[in-house]
Amino acid sequence: MTIPNLNQAAVDQRLRKLIKLAAKKYGPEALAPGGHSSRDVFDYTINELVGLERYAQMMRHRLQVMDLDPYTLRRGLYIVQRIEEEGRHLAFLLERYRAELQDHFGIDLGRPEDLEGA
């Protein structure tokens, strides 16, 4: 089995693709350094971080039904656990910071992501 050589260039390529996708979804203003100025990038980021927990749940399930040797399974479950814990922790920290910007400093961060239709 060949393990792909994942390097910084591969991660950078994914970032470029995500930026292109954002431009398609939100328009050319999404290409600005700060993103679409009328949207609350802090809220969107919190949602992405919280979403990591769901991805971790799915990965955990998939790993547990795969025919893996114990070492490979433990490594995968460790990575999944870290994703879950770090995503939740960062979401918590960013949520508190976002509230501080809004409540203490009165900063309008823009329109939050609409999750009501979910």
Is the pLDDT confidence value at 1 over 60?
Answer: no
Band of pLDDT at residue 5, cut at 50, 70 and 90: low
Q: What is the pLDDT of residues 62-99, one digit of tens each?
A: 999 999 999 999 999 999 999 999 999 999 999 999 99
Is the pLDDT confidence value at 53 over 70?
Answer: yes
Q: How far apart are CA 99 and CA 69, in angstroms?
A: 45
Band of pLDDT at residue 115, cut at 50, 70 and 90: confident
User: Per-residue b/e over 12-37, b at no fewer than 16 CB within 10 Å?
Assistant: eeeeeeeeeebeeeeeeebeeeebbe
For residue 116, what pLDDT is reported? 72
Band of pLDDT at residue 118, cut at 50, 70 and 90: low
For residue 8, what pLDDT is reported? 84
CA distances from 106 to 29, 58, 68, 97 (A): 24, 38, 52, 12
- Mapped onto helix, strand or coil, the DSSP state of residue 37 is coil
For residue 11, what pLDDT is reported? 86
Is the pLDDT confidence value at 3 over 70?
Answer: no
Picking from 5-9, 19-23, 30-34, 114-118, which range would have the lowest pLDDT averaged per residue?
Answer: 114-118
